[in-house]
Amino acid sequence: MPVPSLLFSSLAFLAEPAAAASPAPAADPATATAPTPATTPTDKPYAPDEPKYKGTGMLVTTSVIGAASLGVTIARSVVLKKNCPLEDGTAACTYDFGSDIGLAATQWTLNIATIGLSAGTGVLLGRYHAFKDVGSGRVRKAKVLQAAGGGLIGAGIVGIGTSVALAFVLPKRCLDKELDGGDPLSGDRCLLKAYPAWTMTNWASFSMVSAGAGMVAYGGNYKGRRGAVADNLRWSPFAGRTFAGMGVSGRF
C-alpha cells in the first residue's frame, strides 16, 4: 500500500477548519461583589497631652521639708532649755555654741530649700490646672493669688530681717538687764524666755516667703499657660457622607 506523501498530509492538515475558541464562562451574578465605595478622609482634632507632672509629689516634699525645719527650730529651744535648768535654782547656764550653730545652719538650709520647692510646686500646679480648666471653662483668680503671694513675700522678708537683727539685739539687752539688776541669772532667764519666740519668728517668716513664692509662681504660670492654650485653639467643622461634627485643635 502506497504511503501518502508528506506534502499531501500537510495540505490535508491545513485544509481542516480551525476549531472555534471556546467562550469564557459567564460570571455568576450571585457571587459578584459590588465595588467598595471610597471613604472620605476626615481631620481628627488634635488632642493635647496632659502635663506629665501635677506637682503633687513636690507639694508633699515641700511640706516634709517645712515640717523638718520646724522640728529643728523646736530642737534649738529644747537644747537651750536643757542646758539652762534655771527652774531648779541651779546657778549655772551653759550655752552649747557648737550645737546651736549647727542647728541654726540646718534650719536656714531647710528654710531656703522650702522656698525653692514651693516655687517649683506652684509652677507645676499652675500648668496642670490651666490644662484642666481650659476644657471645663473654669477661670481661677490668678491675679488675686499673685497679689496675696507678693504680700506674703514682703511680710516674710521683713520678718526675716527682724529675726536677724534680734540675734544681735537680744543678747545685748539681756546682758544689760543682768548688769543692772544685780542677779547673775537674770540675763540667762531673759534669753531663755525670748529664745523660742525669736527662733519661731525666723521660721514663720521663712514660711511666709515660701508660701508667697508658691502663690506667685502658681498665678503667673496659670495665667500665662491658660492664655496660651486658649489662643492656640482652632475650631474646624468636618463632615462626611454619613457624619458631621466640630473639631478643636491646637498646640500645647
pTM of the model: 0.66
175: how many CB neighbours lie within 10 A of its CB? 14
Domain ranges in the chain?
Answer: 56-231
Q: Name the H helices within 137-185.
A: 142-181
Q: How remote is the C-alpha of 174 from its chain's centroid?
A: 47
Q: Which residues contact 90 (CB under 8 A, 6 or more apart)?
A: none
**Can you read off the three cell numbers belonging to residue 22?**
471556546
Q: Other CB atoms closer than 10 Å to residue 139's CB: what's the count? A: 13
- Contact 112/208 with Cβ under 8 angstroms? no
Q: What's the length of the chain?
A: 252
**What is the H or E stretch that residue 18 is in?**
none
The CA-to-CA distance between both ends of the chain, in Å, stands at 104
- Looking at the DSSP bridge assignments, the partners of residue 180 are none
pLDDT at 177: 77
The type of residue at 109 is T
Name the 3-class secondary structure at 76. helix
pLDDT, tens only, 119-173: 999 999 888 888 887 776 777 888 899 999 999 999 999 999 999 998 888 888 8
Exposure on the CB side of residue 65, measured as CA atoms within 13 A: 21
What is the predicted pLDDT for the residue at 95?
65
Q: Residues 221, 140: contact at Cβ < 8 Å?
A: no
Residue 127 has which C-alpha cell? Answer: 500648668
Three cell numbers, residue 40: 472620605
> Alpha-carbon torsion 94, 98, 100, 101, what sign?
positive
Position 155 scores a pLDDT of 96
pLDDT of residue 184: 72
Q: Mean pLDDT for the chain?
A: 75
Torsion sign (Cα): 70, 75, 81, 83? negative
Q: CA 68, CA 107: separation in Å to the nearest integer? A: 8
Query: What are residue 105's phi and psi, to 5 degrees?
Result: -65, -40
Q: What is the pLDDT of residues 184-231, one digit of tens each?
A: 777 778 888 888 899 999 999 999 999 999 999 988 888 877 655 444
